[in-house]
């Protein structure tokens, strides 16, 4: 088995994993998860978020165990389990996974831009501009990509405070009674949290690039905890702000909550929020493209640059074909299902497989 | 360097890709009036303002008829030299007739339209909405005037707290009904708030006259303050300033069909026409006020029940206290619900002049 050696100057500090995970998680699904989970679990859905977040800690623990045993990323793990060739074949679909991830993030962002600000926005040209920007970031290497992830979290962090004026217009009694829904409904709600929660699995791909990799585990858990906390708070604020029947009519609850917030220099705050949302989506796209191209490089042994071109062209080609609301919904629900299957089903399976192989190899 | 040039080039080229709206080239709608014109058609009145060279503001209204609200705007746009945009709507007035027919479609559109803010006001008019918008009310323009009128009345607590967000939230919440302030045109340059219209689902069913608004507010607003006046039995009268008040719903544990609305008022006596104001008199005033509030509020509650409308949100309250709450059964039993009103008044130290 080949051991990849990555020079220290290309590696990132362990604590940066915190930002990578949060930046990758927040983006897809973060604008409308409240509506989707409340459909099944009603206003008890915040329990679903806490439950889903707790489950994911186990998955993160598994990811670190896998990575430690094989001392490498998911491709190494596949090769460790199934040999060189089959290992590569198994890793191949993940290129599409990340392509889908960036495609879904980008298309959802564009939909908001089209609905809110520019109804006549030309998809192709705007995505070309966005792609050139992300290409520029990705060519800077992983360290630049992670830097973008850092800034995309820190710069828009003030947005959290803009939800607090809503407290004046909120009614927290609508959250009562707690536990009004069956366990089945709550678990359904947790399942729908998979779209906003996916993204933490990038650790399994970035592992070889982290300095003193095992030290980053606590940061990964912290990142996940922070996201869970943020999502729960935001969900509770949303549930108090909208009534249950109204929430189902609100397309993007997170954005709609800004409608009530008014500053003396800007009548409607959503426009600032949406502008910052561009920045929040950027690391989603950049990290996805970087990992996708990295996988291309590892599997086909071609230069990573070519992989980047390939992914960007594929993305530009596909994005122009997604027009209607239904298609975007389909894309998002597909991403949610694939993400759920990968994180909650495939990673535990891989974990078991790696463990068995380790036992066998020892003998 | 080469790539930098490329980016610059693209930046310049792409900037022309989106539609621009210059503020001088658009007509911002400030108020919308919606009326039922005949059985199928709606009539929309869109109010904009023009800034004249001498710094005065003139009102301009565009009127159109169509079966759908969206069409109303498109048709009105035919008359306007510059496109009408809805981003600045601050007041929407519903005609009386339309209010009785139901406003479900309109609320649905307001819920879905992302260009309309959440802080603007909805009101219902006596007579047509068109007439209200076509008056001449003040130098600041009709749209601003109407907005300020409603806003100041809410701030001074003469009207119950309302805006589009509260309205839509209550409308889509099961177990709570909506209410809208009523506007009445006295003359072409005068307008007043004549009360509140109560709705059952999306149809107007009852009107609370402005004289009873104080009691209505005690029932629907959680927290309150405001002035009120209590005539005493004999010759003396006292004016009491309400410092704060709140209401609470209390469920009876034994009987599920009994609920008590407990109103607590804290006030101070502002003025008293009698000669001396001692402890005894204060007590008397307090008792009188309690009795009066209880009587008036109970009357209102009874009329809510008679009309089967629930502006207090008792259904929503029951839901938050009971697991597995059944709205349909609730709606059936609402009329027979035994609602009691209990009022407690505390009067702070009388003001001695």
Q: Which domain holds residue B40?
A: 22-210
Domain ends where: B147, B180, B210? B210
In three state form, how does the secondary structure of B147-197 look? HHHHHHHHHCCCCCCCCHHHHHHHHHCCCCCCEEEEEEEEECCEEEEEEEE
Pairing of strands B57-66, B42-51: antiparallel
Alpha carbon distance A64, A152 (integer Å)? 25
Instruction: Give the SS3 label for residue B44.
Output: strand
User: Residues 312 to 331 of B: which have CB under 8 A from any A CB?
Assistant: 316-317, 319-325
Containing A133, the helix (H) or strand (E) segment is: helix A123-139
Contact B119 A260 (CB under 8 A): yes
Burial profile B252-266: b = 16 or more Cβ within 10 angstroms, e = fewer:
eeeeeeebebebebb
Q: Is residue B217 part of a domain?
A: no
Reported CATH class of domain A10-346:
mainly alpha
Alpha carbon distance A257, A170 (integer Å)? 11
- Is the same domain home to B184 and B53? yes
- Is the same domain home to B158 and B249? no
Most A CBs within 10 A among B320, B323, B324, B327, hence the mutation to make, goes to B320
Contact A174 B316 (CB under 8 A): yes
Residue of A nearest to B322 (CA): A177
Pairing of strands B84-85, B91-94: unpaired
CB B119 within 8 A of CB A260: yes
Q: Is the pTM value of this prediction over 0.90?
A: no
Contact B168 A262 (CB under 8 A): no
Contacts of B317 in chain A (CB under 8 A): 173
- Is the same domain home to B76 and B176? yes
- Is the same domain home to B71 and B206? yes
Residue A198 gets the label, from left (phi > 0), alpha (psi -120 to 50) or beta, of: beta
Domain ends where: B210, B231, B262? B210
Q: Is residue B179 part of a domain?
A: yes
Question: DSSP letters of A258-324?
Answer: GGG---SS-S-THHHHHHHHHHHHHHHHHHHHHHHHHHHHHHH---HHHHHHHHHHHHHHHHTT--S
Please report, in angstroms and rounded to a whole number, the separation of the first and last CA atoms in chain B.
83
Residue of B nearest to A125 (CA): B14
* Tens digits of residue pLDDT in B49-60: 888 888 788 888
Q: Is residue B347 part of a domain?
A: yes
- Is the same domain home to B178 and B285? no
Q: Is residue B64 part of a domain?
A: yes
Give the CATH number of the domain where residue B246 resides.
Answer: 3.30.300.210
> Which CA distances in Å does B103 have to A94, A332, B109, B168, B307?
51, 34, 10, 12, 18
Contact residues for B61 (Cβ-Cβ < 8 A; gap 6+): B45, B46, B47, B48, B130, B133, B134
Helix A93-116 and helix A270-300: axis angle, to 10°? 160
- The pLDDT profile of chain A, 363 residues, written as one tens digit per residue, is 444 677 888 888 999 999 999 999 998 888 889 999 998 888 888 999 999 999 999 999 999 999 988 888 888 888 888 888 888 888 899 999 999 999 999 999 998 888 888 888 888 888 898 999 999 999 988 999 999 999 999 998 888 888 888 888 888 888 888 888 888 888 998 999 999 999 888 999 988 898 888 888 899 999 999 999 999 999 999 999 998 888 888 888 888 888 887 777 777 788 888 889 999 999 999 999 999 999 999 888 888 889 999 999 999 999 888 888 889 989 999 999 999 999 899 999 999 999 899 888 887
**Is B75 part of the contact surface with chain A (CB cutoff 8 Å)?**
no
Instruction: Give the SS3 label for residue A6.
Output: coil
Domain ends where: B175, B210, B245? B210
- Is the same domain home to B100 and B155? yes
Does the ipTM surpass 0.85?
Answer: no
- Is the same domain home to B284 and B165? no
Burial profile A228-264: b = 16 or more Cβ within 10 angstroms, e = fewer:
bebbbebbbbbbbbbbbbbbebbbbbbbbbbbbbeee
Tell me the domain boundaries of chain A: 10-346
- Is the same domain home to B226 and B292? yes
- Is the same domain home to B203 and B232? no
Number of folded domains in chain B? 2
- Is the same domain home to B197 and B226? no
**Is B117 part of the contact surface with chain A (CB cutoff 8 Å)?**
yes
- Is the same domain home to B241 and B167? no
């Amino acid at each position: 088995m080949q051991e990849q050696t990555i020079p220290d100057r290309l590696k990132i500090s362990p604590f940066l994993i915190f930002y990578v995970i949060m930046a990758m998680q927040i983006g897809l699904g973060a604008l409308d998860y409240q509506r989707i989970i409340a459909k099944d679990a009603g206003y008890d859905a915040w329990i679903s978020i806490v439950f889903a977040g707790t489950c994911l800690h186990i998955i993160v623990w598994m990811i670190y165990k896998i990575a430690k045993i094989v001392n490498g990323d998911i491709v190494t793990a596949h090769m460790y389990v199934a040999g060189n060739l089959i290992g590569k074949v198994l890793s191949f679909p993940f290129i599409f996974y990340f392509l889908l991830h960036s495609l879904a993030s980008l298309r959802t962002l564009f939909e908001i831009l089209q609905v809110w600000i520019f109804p006549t926005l030309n998809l192709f040209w705007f995505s070309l501009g966005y792609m050139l920007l992300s290409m520029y970031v990705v060519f800077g290497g992983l360290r630049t990509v992670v830097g973008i992830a850092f800034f995309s979290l820190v710069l828009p962090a003030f947005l959290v405070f803009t939800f607090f004026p809503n407290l004046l217009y909120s009614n927290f009694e609508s959250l009562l009674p707690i536990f009004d829904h069956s366990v089945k409904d709550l678990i359904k709600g947790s399942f729908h949290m998979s779209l906003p929660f996916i993204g933490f699995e990038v650790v399994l791909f970035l592992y070889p690039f982290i300095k003193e990799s095992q030290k980053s585990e606590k940061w990964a858990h912290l990142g996940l905890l922070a996201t869970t906390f943020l999502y729960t708070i935001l969900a509770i604020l949303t549930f108090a702000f909208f009534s249950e029947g109204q929430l189902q009519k609100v397309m993007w609850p997170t954005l709609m909550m800004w409608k009530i917030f008014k500053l003396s220099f800007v009548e409607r705050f959503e426009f600032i929020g949406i502008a910052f949302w561009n920045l929040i989506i950027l690391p989603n796209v950049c990290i996805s493209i970087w990992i996708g191209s990295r996988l291309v490089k590892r599997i086909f042994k071609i230069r990573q640059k070519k992989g980047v071109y390939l992914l960007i062209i594929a993305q530009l080609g596909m994005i122009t074909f997604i027009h209607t609301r239904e298609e975007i919904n389909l894309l998002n629900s597909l991403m949610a299902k694939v993400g759920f299957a990968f994180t909650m089903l495939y990673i535990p399976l891989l974990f078991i497989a790696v463990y068995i192989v380790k036992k066998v190899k020892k003998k | 360097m080469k790539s930098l040039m490329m980016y610059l080039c693209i930046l310049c080229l792409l900037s022309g890709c989106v539609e621009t709206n210059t503020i001088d080239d658009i007509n911002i709608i400030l108020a919308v009036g919606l009326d039922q014109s005949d059985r199928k058609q709606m009539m929309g009145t869109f109010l904009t303002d023009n800034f004249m060279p001498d710094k005065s503001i003139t009102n301009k209204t565009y009127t159109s008829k169509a079966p759908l609200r969206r069409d109303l705007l498109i048709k009105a746009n035919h008359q306007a030299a510059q496109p009408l945009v809805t981003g600045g709507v601050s007041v929407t007035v519903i005609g009386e007739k339309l209010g009785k027919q139901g406003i479900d479609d309109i609320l649905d559109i307001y819920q879905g339209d992302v260009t309309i803010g959440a802080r603007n006001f909805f009101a219902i008019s006596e007579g047509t909405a068109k007439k209200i918008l076509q008056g001449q009310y003040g130098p600041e323009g009709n749209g601003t005037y109407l907005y300020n009128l409603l806003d100041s009345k809410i701030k001074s607590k003469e009207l119950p707290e309302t805006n589009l967000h509260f309205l839509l939230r209550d409308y889509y919440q099961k177990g709570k009904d909506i209410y809208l302030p009523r506007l009445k045109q006295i003359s072409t340059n005068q307008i007043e708030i004549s009360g509140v219209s109560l709705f059952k689902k999306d149809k107007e069913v009852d009107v609370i006259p402005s004289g009873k608004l104080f009691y209505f507010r005690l029932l629907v607003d959680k927290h309150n303050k405001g002035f009120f006046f209590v005539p005493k039995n004999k010759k003396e009268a006292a004016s009491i300033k309400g410092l704060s008040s709140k209401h609470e719903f209390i469920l009876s544990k034994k009987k599920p069909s009994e609920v008590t609305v407990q109103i607590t008022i804290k006030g101070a006596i502002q003025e008293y026409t009698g000669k001396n104001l001692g402890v005894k008199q204060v007590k008397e005033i307090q008792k009188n006020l309690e009795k009066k509030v209880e009587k008036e509020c109970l009357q209102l509650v009874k009329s809510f029940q008679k009309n089967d409308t629930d502006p207090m949100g008792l259904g929503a309250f029951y839901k938050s206290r009971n697991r597995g709450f059944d709205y349909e059964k609730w709606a059936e039993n609402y009329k027979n619900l035994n609602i009691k009103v209990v009022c407690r008044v505390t009067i702070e130290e009388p003001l001695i002049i």
